[in-house]
Structure 1
Amino acid sequence: SRPAVAAVGGATALVVAGIVLTLGLERRRLVRAVLGTQAEAAQLDQRFRLAFHGAPVGIAIVDRDGNIVKANEALLILLGRPSMPHRSLAESALPEDVAVVGENFRRLINGEVDHVVHERQLRRADGSLVWVRIHSAPLPGPDGTPAAIVGHIVDITAEREAVAAVDELRHRAFHDNLTGLATRDVLLDRLGGALGRARRSGEAVAVLYLDLDRFKSVNDRFGHATGDALLRWVAGAISGAVRPGDTVARHGGDEFVVLLDPVTGVPEARIVARRIRDALTRPVELAGGVRLAVAASVGIAVSLGYAAPEDLLRDADAALYHAKTGGRDRVEVFDDELRARAVRRLSTELVLRQALDDGSITLRFEPVADLHTGRVVGAEARIQLTQPSGESVPVAELRLVAQETGLALTLGAGAIDGACRAAAAWKRTDGDRCWVGIDVTPQEVVHPTFVDRLSRSIEESGVEPGSVRLELPESVCEQRGPARRALDMVRSLGVLVVLDGFGADLRSFARLGSMPIDGLKLDLAWFPDVVSDRVAAALLGALLPVTELAALPVVITGADQAGQIEVVRSIGYRYVQGGAVAPGLAVEDLVSLAG
């Protein structure tokens, strides 16, 4: 019926109107949501831009082709570029790093990894280098796959420099600055560990102690720069000759130490020492065309019950000392004989130190006779040191120990003081003065305080300077510069300079006229059997005219037999010294000599 139809139509209209109203409301909500999302997006975009451009570290966005599409101000400043449109970050990488940078990019853009961190050097626009740490991660696209790469580039140059400085300090603490070898402290640490392992395992370790022969002459002739270059070459030669795992250390100056850990015994240690010496004998050409041949002396000590690293090192040093005194360019092994010598040297050192402390060192005086008058005219003062056993220490050994222990200057100063006092107190009955000679070494003479100390000894003792004679070895003839200047200063005081033991090198006779000396001593040890050997006597006689031409008075020493004195007298020499003249006298007996 019409009312029913009307009712149905009205209901339908209400439903449609409701649907339309609902759709309208939803549309308005959606519109408001979209507009809100856009505002939020705009706000987020604004925040991103502020964070991107205001970040204190460099940021770059790289597209799938590897080109930089965005770079912030920090990155531009870091790389020193005004802009980076369509440039690849790999263009700033070093050539050796390009392949690695490319591989990292490929793995990121293909989704194989979700981030990469690496440290590289980049080249700035001005060519300088900067260390950076790069954190890279993919930026997903609409489909979730990587559409670009974002990289954070942090300047770590200062961090790297700090790490390098620490590494350098650490390296210097454990390595010699000149050669790069291990230091003495590292050597002792490793030697201590090696000895501990040797005691547990029953194996042996060995120490090779090396010293370059005549290295000082290289410094003196070519300068310290050449000497340093030679030491670096030697360090490399030694390192190339030892076995893998052995330690090579520079022990100071021109000394090197090799720790062989382990060794089967002395034969194996000798083999390594021979390889080292063979490596060093190859001529080396250094900067400036300097060509040198190197020789080294080697001392070997093999661990047999050693507990302290210093003990093994000390014994290797003792073997080295024996090698050098035995002629250099040799290898010596520490054994029972050397151990006995080392014990004696240590005993001598202890007695010497005690004697210097308490002033118990004495002088003995060996008289010099004038064969023309038969009278004593002078004496040589000799240092006397007695062991607790009552045995006298030979003068040569005493001076050597004093030099090695740094006591030579103190010992020499005391001897000069005693010689000056003795000369001042010693007068002959006829009024002629007597002189006293004292042995000194070239090392003492060139010391900066030597001349002043000598002058003070003369002044305090009241001795006439001409009554004091300094007796130096013939080797002083080969020295120039400081030694010559020191001798001139000594002579300017009025003190005489005499060459002792002259004649070991006949070449020295050719230099007699130019040397700053006042006399000679010829040792009969250079003319054995002068009494029965006519050739030896003739040679001794042939030297007399040379010394007379140079106007140098000569004292013949070592005359321990009456027959030697007669030969010396018959040749024409005037002064003689030795056991056949008189034994060594105490200062009291010397002063009592008169006439």
Structure 2
Amino acid sequence: MNRFRTTGISGDLQGDLPAHQDLFDSTRPHCPRLLLVDDEPRVLASLQEMLEGRGYAISTAATGSAALACLVAQRFDLVLLDLLMMDVDGHQVMDFINLHDIKADVIIVSGVVGIDSAIGALKRGAHDYLRKPFSREELLHTVENALRQRELQQTNRRMAAALEVSEKKYRYLVDASPDMIYMLGHEGRFTYVNDRACQMLGYERDELLGRHYTTLLHADDVERARYVFNERRVGERASRDVELRVTCRAGPIQARAAGTTVMTISLNAIGMHREKQEPHTPTYVGTYGIARDVSARKRAEAVIYHQAYHDILTDLPNRVLFKDRLGLAMLQARRKRTELAVMFIDLDRFKLVNDTLGHVHGDGLLQQVAARLKDCLRKGDTLARQGGDEFTIVLPELRSRDDARVVADKFIERLQQPFDLGGNEVHISASIGIAIYPEHGESIDELLRNADIAMYQVKDLGKNGHAFYDASMQDALHQNIALEHNLRRALERNELEMYYQPQIDAASGRIIGAEALIRWNHPLRGLIMPAEFLPFAEESGLIVPISEWMIDTLCRDMAHWGTDGEDALTLSLNLSPHYLDHSRFYETMQSALQRYGIGPGRIAVEITENICIRNPQHAIEQLKRLGQLGVSVAIDDFGTGYSSLAYLHRFPIQTIKIDQSFVQQISDPDGHYPVVLAIISISRGLNLDLVAEGVETEVQARYLRAHGCSTMQGFLFHRPMPLKGFVNVLNA
């Protein structure tokens, strides 16, 4: 018997199917549909009888035309077709099936013996050929075999379709991934890259495939990258989160630039292996890896790191980084047995600039100062901002301490040049303390502390200079600490005393007022002037209780001589701006006046002109409250600060005092002293009282009197004196 069968699926695919699954069991849920076509009724009935009871859905057609109608109306899995029929023969039916792409397999059941009929059926896609007569077993076997192969082919097609869908999904996920996905061959050349890799690197896919990975790496990272891109480890031992730098073309692929840029990637890589014929002998075939662009994160980390160790305003190292660099410099100096210098710089009068021009200009000044200081340093020196207006410097590898002195002189010279702050020309200076390692300290904190002590020594001596640390400065510091401690107890021990310097009407020589000045009768050091202890009082907060003591003492003393007929005498008291900002200032003054029965018109409060600029609105409110109380206001040391005629016009001020520094310049009665003349003109124009301070010679008195200033105070007339002496002068 001749049979023609198509080839089944490969043994490899059959081996991949689960062993327990029987796709051809008669209990399978799909019921095969069979069409039996034969124009001999007995043969048709015989075919139907042999196939019934096998789980098939059977339809019959007694003619070729009927078979065509069935094929159009229904779907069949298998057609058992006779070739020789009267109207439409079997070949024509198969042509119809092929023409209309009907998915049905055909088994020819025919009694035709000629080979041409069999060849014609085979060419038209017949699955098998049964020659009549045939046995039931042969028929059943042929049908079952055809259905089995059909279902295997359908399963194969479904699996192929699923694989195609899966591959499309995989390709979409891979190409749409935000990460670069690649594969390298065992030689280190790219065998696959996804779309993202092309976009990130700026190359077409064809340009990357076959290219060696080293051509994309930053030169400094090639050696470190070899074990990553040639990764042979698997599982938990695979390379993870390794950061490398790669070069990529600048700009998009469509508009490439000639240059390249550097990108930082975080790389995960795992080796790919192929098993040999012998067990447990893997062969390395390449690397599979995923890389992510972390350039933005690296830049952010760099910014965060920079901000953690640098001052935001000046971009200089902060105190943390400064101490780290100082520590390294000390290690090198110890190893090389050389010296280094630590400088502590504090800007003089910076607070005044900040208060008068505002914090924006103050910040601009700090930035300009930082730039000037940097210009004076070597490449290996470190300039840092400690905070506020304080800077620190490390000068390593000194040949001698004269090197540090030269640098300090450069600083002072550069800082004395004017600064332009929004059109305002500002002059400042600096106090610089210098400590030498290892002579002045062998630790970071010790060197900084001693440089700081030297800087304060410069400030105490008049500022605008530099000084090297000396052990004697430590003794002076201890004395200052002791002075501050004793000052806290001075109030309790009644060691403070008020002195009075009379103010004279130069025309008549009559005393018309006096300025109250505080003194400290120290039990060991004797009489201490206010310039020596009031700065400590302001820094420690003692200025508040001391100022309240001054107000109370002044009113008490006025009550003492008030009965002597000197009601017209006015007493002025110089109060600290820090105390004038205090909330209890007005209440304290009012309470003291009421307690001692003093008329407020006999009191004048002296303030420096800078308080009017530091917080104008607050100053206006405070001074207006004093005016409502009846207390007059005088500006002390006029002309030495940032004067403003607008402030003089707006503020409730009755008196201005010419500072003694201008008065002391007068040496010729016929000379021209424009500042003094200008202040006198201002007082006249604003209808303000005028007092000249520090008058010590007749020439000064005559000049002032000749140009319209008749109220004076100074050593020419009287020195400051205790209350008893002042009362004696009044009664003389």
Give me the whole-angstrom Cα distance separating, in 2, the residues matched to 1:153 and 1:357. Answer: 75
| Residue 449 of structure 2, aligned match among 296, 311, 318 | 311
Give 1:474 shift: 5.3
1:151 aligns with: 289
Pairwise CA distance, 1:245: 4.4
Q: Is the 8 A contact 1:273 1:298 kept in 2?
A: no
- Does structure 2 conserve the Cα–Cα contact (< 8 Å) formed by 1:378 and 1:435? yes
Cα distance, 1:436 vs structure 2: 2.2
Partner of 1:468: 603
Matched, 1:90 2:197: yes
The reply on whether 1:270 has 2:388 as its aligned counterpart is no
Check whether the contact 2:193–2:208 (CA below 8 A) recurs between aligned residues: no
1:334 CA drift (Å)? 5.3
Distance 2:642 2:592 in 1: 35
State which of 440, 443, 448 in structure 1 corresponds to 2:575.
Answer: 440
Report the Cα offset of residue 430 of structure 1: 3.0
Q: Is the 8 A contact 2:175 2:195 kept in 1?
A: no
- 2:487 pairs with one of 343, 352, 358: 352
What residue ranges of structure 2 are gaps of 5+ in the alignment?
1-10, 22-161, 182-191, 216-224, 234-238, 247-262
Distance 1:110 1:569 in 2: 93
Q: Does 1:366 align with 2:504?
A: no
C-alpha deviation, 1:269, in angstroms: 0.9
Which residue is equivalent to 1:498? 634
Alignment partners' CA distance in 1, 2:696 and 2:412: 44
Q: Distance in 2 between matches of 1:344 and 1:560?
A: 33
**The residue matched to 2:558 in structure 1 has which SS?**
helix
Deviation, 1:114, is 2.1
**Structure 2 residue 432 is the aligned partner of structure 1 residue 299:** yes
Rate the CA distance shift 1:231–1:498 in 2: closer, same or farther, 3 A.
closer
Read off the aligned partner of 1:491 and give its amino acid letter. G
Q: Is the 8 A contact 1:109 1:138 kept in 2?
A: no
Summarize the alignment of residues 132-151 of structure 1 with structure 2, pairs less than 5 Å apart. 133-140=267-274, 149-151=287-289
Q: What displacement does 1:503 show?
A: 6.7
Q: Is the 8 A contact 2:455 2:466 kept in 1?
A: no
1:188/1:407 CA distance change after superposition, 3 Å: farther
2:257 aligned residue: none
Give the equivalent residue in structure 1 for 2:113: none
Tell me which moved more, 349-358 or 339-348. 339-348
In 2, are the aligned partners of 1:191 and 1:259 still within 8 Å (CA)? yes
Report the TM-score, using the length of structure 1 for normalisation.
0.64
Which residue identity lines up with residue 430 of structure 2 in the other structure?
A: S
Q: Secondary structure at the match of 1:243?
A: coil
Quick one: distance in 2 between partners of 1:294 and 1:572? 32
Question: Residue 210 of structure 1 contacts residue 298 of structure 1 at CA under 8 Å; is this kept in 2?
Answer: yes
1:254 has 2:372 as partner: no
1:91 maps to amino acid: C
- Residues 473 and 251 from structure 1, CA distance in 2 versus in 1: closer, same or farther, beyond 3 angstroms? same
1:318, 1:334 within 8 Å by CA — same for their partners in 2? Answer: no
CA contact 1:435–1:469 (8 Å) conserved in 2: yes
Look up the equivalent residue of 1:321 and give its one-letter code: K
> C-alpha distance in 1, partners of 2:544/2:668?
41
User: SS at the partner of 2:549?
Assistant: helix
* Structure 1 position 257, deviation (Å): 0.9
CA distance in structure 2 between the aligned counterparts of 1:405 and 1:356, rounded to whole angstroms:
14
Q: Distance in 2 between matches of 1:416 and 1:137?
A: 88
Q: Is the 8 A contact 2:555 2:598 kept in 1?
A: yes
Deviation of 1:251 after TM superposition, in Å, equals 1.5
Deviation at 1:415, TM superposition (A): 2.3
Measured after TM superposition, the shift of residue 221 of structure 1 is: 7.7
After alignment, is 85-94 or 245-254 more displaced? Answer: 85-94
For the residue of structure 2 that corresponds to 1:315, the secondary structure is helix
- Aligned pairs (5 A) from 1:71-86: none
SS at match of 2:527: coil
Cα distance change, pair 510–78 in 1 and its aligned pair in 2 (3 A): closer
CA contact (8 A) 1:470 1:496 kept: yes
Is the counterpart of residue 395 in structure 1 residue 530 in structure 2? Answer: yes
Q: Distance in 2 between the 1:557 and 1:226 partners?
A: 33
- Corresponding residue number in structure 1 for 2:345: 210
Letter in 2 for 1:302: A
**Partners of 1:111 and 1:310 in 2: CA distance:** 50
Distance in 2 (alpha carbons) for counterparts of 1:100 and 1:424: 100
- SS at 1:134 equivalent: strand
What is the 5 A alignment of 1:189-268? Answer: 203-212=338-347, 215=350, 224-225=359-360, 227-228=362-363, 231-232=366-367, 234-235=369-370, 238-239=373-374, 241-268=376-403
Deviations 1:310-360 (A, max 9, x none): 43232342255268x45x4x5555569977876765554444344256553
CA 1:556–1:219: 2 relative to 1, 3 Å: closer
Q: 1:208 to 1:135 in 2, by over 3 A?
A: same
Are residue 321 (structure 1) and residue 459 (structure 2) matched?
Answer: yes
- Specify the alignment match of 2:16 in structure 1: 38
Q: Name 2:318's counterpart in structure 1.
A: 183
Task: Please give the alpha-carbon distance, in whole angstroms, between the structure 1 residues aligned to 2:200 and 2:594.
Answer: 78
Residue 114, structure 1, aligned to residue 252, structure 2:
no
Distance in 1, matches of 2:682 and 2:581, equals: 29
2:562 maps to: 427
In structure 1, give the amino acid aligned to 2:271: A
SS state at 1:297 partner: strand
Residue 364 of structure 1 deviates from its aligned partner by: 1.8
Length-normalised TM-score, structure 2:
0.54
SS at match of 2:386: strand
Percent identity for Structure 1 against Structure 2: 26
Q: How far apart, CA to CA, are the structure 1 residues paired with 2:171 and 2:489?
A: 80
Alignment-mate amino acid for residue 382 of structure 1: L
Note the alpha carbon deviations across 1:512-566, whole angstroms, 9 max, x for none: 7776421244466644598x95336999899878756654344454456899889
Task: Give yes or no for contact 1:504–1:526 (8 Å, CA) kept in 2.
Answer: no
Structure having the higher helix fraction is: 1
Structure number with the bigger relative contact order (C-alpha 8 A, sep ≥ 6) is 1
CA 1:345 to 1:197, structure 2 compared with 1: closer, same or farther past 3 Å?
farther
Give the aligned residue type for 1:38: D
The corresponding residue for 1:417 is 552
Q: Which amino acid aligns with 2:450?
A: L
Q: Is the 8 A contact 2:175 2:194 kept in 1?
A: no
Alignment partner, residue 655 of structure 2: 519
The CA deviation at 1:585 is 4.0
Q: CA RMSD in A?
A: 6.0
- 2:8 match: none
Compute the displacement of 1:268 (Å). 0.6
- Cα distance per residue 1:9-52 (max 9 Å; x no partner): xxxxxxxxxxxxxxxxxxxxxxxx98995347999xxxxxxxxx
- Bigger CA radius of gyration: 2
Q: Which residue of 1 aligns with 2:136?
A: none
- Paired residue secondary structure (1:381): strand
Deviation at 1:420, TM superposition (A): 3.2
Q: Which amino acid aligns with 1:242?
A: L
Q: Which amino acid aligns with 1:394?
A: M
Q: Match for residue 50 of structure 1?
A: none
Distance 1:93 1:230, change over 3 A: farther
Q: Is residue 354–residue 361 contact of structure 2 (8 Å, CA) maintained in 1? A: yes
The equivalent residue for 1:6 is none
Q: In 1, distance between residues paired with 2:355 and 2:710?
A: 40
Structure 1: segments with no counterpart, 5+ residues: 1-32, 44-52, 54-59, 62-67, 123-128
SS at match of 1:269: helix
